[in-house]
A and B are shown apart, each in its own frame.
Chain A
Amino acid sequence: MRKLIFAGTLLICAGVVACTSSQLATATETGMILAGKDPDKARRVGASVGQFAGGMSKEISLDDEVALGRGISLKLLEMKGGLHADNELQRYVNMVGHAVAERSDRPNLKYIFGVVNDEEVNAWAAPGGYVFITVGTLRELESEAELAGVLAHEVAHVQEGHMVRVLKKMQVQTGISDALKATDSDYEEYGQSLESGLRVLVENGLPWEMEYEADTLGSEIATLTGYKAEGLRDFLGKIETPDDDDAEGGWLSHTHPPVSKRIESLGYHLDGKLAGFDGASQEERFAKYVTNRLAKK
């Protein structure tokens, strides 16, 4: 019987995510009344539950989203060795990034793109439009279309609010009072939020369906910008390794789906919706601003 109650409670918790706070309040109140409880008490409990759920499902303001993203970005940069010192390189990546961001569904959000001084092959997107790509990734790329594909993948994460969704979910599961806390006063809770965000970025990763979604939306955004649709897939093809499907090995196996699966999934999209779009690749400019500059260092 206890197991049944526990399962029911878990399901109700899941319902908190799926229902509005008022629906949850009404459901709780009605349930208690039908179970023979005092209507006044039922109303009080229902209201409390609704208030609790309301807090959980509240929208995040732009200010909070940016402040949270900035805090997480600082932590990430601290961990990964900071930003690359080449200002021209940073500007070039921002140009390509802004070009794809303007074709996304949040075109007026001012995105910040940064090249991280790290040789690991990786890229991250924090809430509020903070997108980072490593020097290691840039070394693997051969064209602006590939860079656009990678950046557009990250822009798609921001556009769809993937990390915010995951943090909201963590908030419910872990009981953190406010995993999206970005207030000016409570540093302890703010710090806790940043830690949660950093953990999602570098340790746990996002749910795989979000990665697949960012792949397809990212390729679409890059195509709309005027770049070759295959940019992201071409890049993934370069970093695919034989042990990629092995959970213990392979590129980013701990935070992303296997590269081979991503390539396969992207293939359907490229052969379907994006078939026939003849975008630019632009190797020359990429070599001038990225490959040649990194080679000199």
Chain B
Amino acid sequence: MTRSICRIVVTALFLLLAGSLSAQSGYQPRTVDGTGGSSPQAAPRDLPAKNPSGLTTMWVRRDAADVFDSAKRDANRIAELKKSQPVAVIAKEGLRYQIQLADGRTGYIAKLYLTDIKPVGGDEGFKLFASDDIGAGEQANVESVRGLRKGSEDAAVAEGMEEIVMEQLSSVENLAISISEDQVSQFLEEGGVFPI
């Protein structure tokens, strides 16, 4: 009986090990360039690659990255690139790299937004949240679940939570939700804070 259990455990372990080599899950601290350290999704590293025009290809590694008309801090935004999108890099100088857009225009993008590691499957590999990439149209949903979920309110009451604390949290939730992107942009501009 014991031997039998042992054999099952050992075989299952062997198969699990083999399976986990190809699995893309579990916590892996990310490296600062977002490439996943030693995680499986970091491979294959098949760069530096040259695109047909002879320029180096890199990929956008954040959800949205602004492209500007110059490398200066007060440059104008001319385009927005999406995560995993490839870009042709013309020059890697300074903090903003010069790139060529798909329509032929040239622009500048902060080097922090780019990685030379080709994304596998178009994403970072590990999916933790069911709605990790919340589209703009879903934002209303995100707001609607704030403080309005009856179940959690009832549960809080059942837990005997202080009413004053619940009111305080609702108040700051409403305040946070009332802040628009335009207000944030204006706030930054007034403070001399320029996103890169």
User: Which A residues are closer than 8 A to B by beta carbons?
Assistant: 1, 4-5, 8-9, 11-12, 15, 17-20, 23-24, 26-28, 30-32, 34-37, 57, 59-63, 65-67, 70-71, 73-75, 77-78, 82-83, 87, 90-91, 94-95, 97-99, 102-103, 105-114, 144, 160-161, 164-165, 182-185, 187, 190-191, 194, 209-210, 212-213, 216-217, 220, 223-227, 269, 272-274, 276-280, 282, 285
Residues of B near A9 (CB, < 8 A) are: 9
Given A62-B131, A75-B159: 6 more A-B contacts, CB < 8 Å: A24-B16, A34-B11, A97-B176, A108-B138, A282-B191, A282-B192
Complex: A144 Cα to B171 Cα, angstroms: 24
B16 touches A59 (CB 8 A): no
B53 within 8 A of A: no
- Check A8/B193 contact, CB under 8 A, given A19-B16, A106-B132: no
Selected contact of A108 from candidates B142, B175, B183, CB within 8 Å: B142
Q: Does B47 belong to the interface (CB within 8 Å)?
A: no
Q: When the two chains form their complex, are residues B176 and A67 in contact, meaning their CB atoms are under 8 A apart?
A: no
Determine whether the beta carbon of A31 is less than 8 Å from that of B9: yes
- Per the bound structure, the CA–CA distance linking A225 and B110 in Å amounts to 11
Q: Residues of B contacting A220 with CB < 8 Å?
A: 32, 112
Return the contact of B32 from the options A65, A90, A273 (Cβ within 8 A): A273
Check if A165 sits within 8 Å of B155, measured CB to CB: no
Say whether B25 contacts A18, CB under 8 Å. Answer: yes
| Per-position binary interface string of chain B over residues 120-139, scored 1 when its CB falls under 8 Å from any chain A CB and 0 otherwise | 00000001111110111011
Of A23, A65, A209, most buried by chain B (CB within 10 Å of CB) is A23
User: Does residue B103 face the partner (Cβ distance < 8 Å to A)?
Assistant: no
Secondary structure class of chain A's binding surface, majority of residues: helix
- How distant is B154 from chain A, measured CB to nearest CB, in Å? 7
- CB atoms of B145 and A67 under 8 A apart: yes
Residue of A nearest to B187 (CB): A95
C-alpha spacing A130/B155, complex, angstroms: 18
Contact A61 B131 (CB under 8 A): yes
A185 CB contacts on chain B under 8 angstroms: 151
Asked whether B162 is an interface residue with its Cβ less than 8 Å from the other chain, the reply is: yes
A57–B126 Cα gap in the complex (Å)? Answer: 12
Interface size (B, Cβ < 8 Å)? Answer: 84
Q: Which residues of chain A are near B75, meaning CB under 8 Å?
A: none
CB pair B193 A279 closer than 8 Å: yes
A107 touches B9 (CB 8 A): no
| Residue contact A112 to B15, C-beta cutoff 8 Å | no
Q: Which of B7-49 contact A (CB under 8 A)?
A: 7-13, 15-17, 19-20, 23, 25-27, 29-30, 32-33
Q: Which residues of B contact A11 (CB under 8 A)?
A: 13, 16
Contact A8 B169 (CB under 8 A): no
Within 8 A of A (CB), among B146-196: 146-147, 149-152, 154-156, 158-159, 161-162, 164-166, 168-169, 171-173, 175-177, 179, 181, 183-184, 187-188, 191-196
Instruction: Give the CA-CA distance A27 to B143 in the complex, in Å.
Output: 42
CB-based contact B156/A60 at 8 Å: no
A147 to chain B, nearest CB (A): 12
Whether B134 and A19, one on each chain, are in contact in the complex, defined by CB atoms closer than 8 angstroms, is no
**With known contacts A15-B20, A31-B15, A108–B191 Cβ distance under 8 A:** no
When A62-B131, A74-B166, A110-B146 are in contact, do A224 and B196 touch as well, CB less than 8 Å? yes
A210 to B27 alpha-carbon distance, docked (Å):
10
Pair B16/A27 contact, Cβ less than 8 Å: yes
A190 contacts B26, C-beta separation under 8 Å: no
Report the minimum CB–CB distance from A271 to chain B (whole Å).
Answer: 12
Whether the pair A77, B169 counts as a contact (CB closer than 8 A) is: yes
| B136 CB to nearest A CB, Å | 6
Q: Knowing A31-B12, A190-B155, say if A18 contacts B169 (CB, 8 Å).
A: no
Please pick, from B5, B26, B94, B155, the residue contacting A18 in the complex, using a CB distance under 8 A.
Answer: B26
5 contacts between A and B (CB under 8 A): A11-B13, A62-B130, A114-B168, A187-B154, A277-B95
CB distance from B60 to the nearest CB of A (A): 12
- Are the C-beta atoms of B195 and A224 separated by less than 8 Å? yes
Contact check, A37 vs B8: say whether CB atoms are below 8 A apart.
yes
